[in-house]
Structure 1
């Protein structure tokens, strides 16, 4: 293990990597007794491979039952540092990566990074893209913006809506989504759905986006939540930033760390930098599977950020899908079943139920004018049939 730990000293490291290595060694020293008991099975000759290997030894090789409580925090800090170092190196490598290599990298990461689930999310958002936020249902808006609710039933939302980046903490954004989504629609309309997106287009978006937040009492426009909207609007142009990504991303690109309000630098330092890379400027592929990746190539830059091997299993979609619920048995008792999702009546499902009922030809004409009232009553828990009977009793 000692030979493995010291092996980067014989590698050609950049100044950033040297600093990262020195920090790693500091934390390794604190858990050295536990780490020495781990058998070394692989000795990569490059720093990226070394970081990945050490991460596996620390994360999965150490016997946690023998770890002193005082060493738990250094171990966690070491893991975070290794994650950052891996991401930084992968981002740095992306700057010279042609499209065929990037495509293979994405496919190699498919299982670990839940690529299939990510693509299902992007395809779903693609089906909404021609609609405005104002015209979407509440759940559709939240899927677009990246906030998961238990009402996102797995049968319809077969993906974690928070993949790429969650906006759960962006209270101002969700206040606008709920009350004045048209203001966000106005901002997004500055970004064309097809073709080139210019810096002027982006600046107009920022102008309108910040103006929307000016209508709120306290909330300020933040960059990270805005990038989620932009990336869902144009996944071939924008990537999603989060607080956890920005440090490693900037180090990998050789930049000073962005602040959460650096709207200008997001375009100039991040987006333009990505657009200069070989994989971005590649020709449109003809293969259907490859084209799906290419059409989402900038938002899929997210796969350069390290995730643990159980990342895919932590999906909100899978948690909800596999959540045990209490169901009644044929004998009247109760049991817990996995994979059964208790149906919740949402605004959308209530609308569908009422519209289906109103489509019946023998219903009186006056019921058609009561559609909104019927939906409201169904949302409160009444069945559509009960509502019709009540209206018949009132209006004859």
Structure 2
């Protein structure tokens, strides 16, 4: 609810900026034209993921990976890494934080393993693995527009090496941190029965059909909306009670909409000139590191989405936009508010009774985030 209140305040401020001429109406219209497909995709993919989770798809996959691990905790953890990367890449970082986290925590507990290594894995990879595909993060979809790429393959080619580094570095840190827990063995528990097999298989089928469509170059809101409509119809027939207003990420949409308006007004007032002095210019290794670190610091100070929106105008080239994405996607591992996904993740942990003090989270992130961002940026430099 706090996010909704903040979003409402931002929308009011944006409306004042339009009414007073600070933000010209034409600029506001151009902004709306740019962001409505992104927000529509965010709504549709959230509905798809929530309903698939309600059908038991994520839980079934996680339980079967636990059995496939053969009692080896480290192998189960590797399967969780793969699930987190795939979930983040295709269904966005918020899906991983909100829906995959409780699944892996419960799987760990059912098999007598400490849940924290698996929970922290989902939190870190929800952020760092969001460099993989345009649909992985709202920042990427915004950058796709700025890059002028109509083919997702060009985005992947640009960020493939940094994305790989941004996944590997946190995983190595997690292996070192939880090496004793991951060296344990366990007795796999039996998977729970699926309540409605027809609902399960239809939901799984919709997901399997949707994932490749998200990387074909079709505007991503189209297949996402189609998948959401199919699942809504199916659930209306077989489990109507699951269709509730809470499925819609309306608070996120309200917040993002207000944020877009306020930052666009800020740029009209000269924010770009100020930030250009902070983020610098050029495409030398030092210049790209300066921009990516600026993005990381901005994300941990005010959240990754406003940090990206604020710094996007000073990026100015595909290579610099890639460096900025590294900072705002792989860098939000330090403060609780660095990304909405982190806040949602911690809320789920509290609901599940998993203890992790913010002080410990901040300390670990303060070590891992800078190393990840710097190495990923150097990977970008070497791969160009």
> Is the structural similarity TM-score above 0.5?
no
TM-score (norm 2): 0.23
TM-score (norm 1): 0.22
The structure with the largest alpha-carbon Rg is 1
| Structure with bigger RCO (C-alpha 8 Å, 6+ apart) | 2
Kindly indicate which of the two structures has a greater share of residues assigned to helix: 2
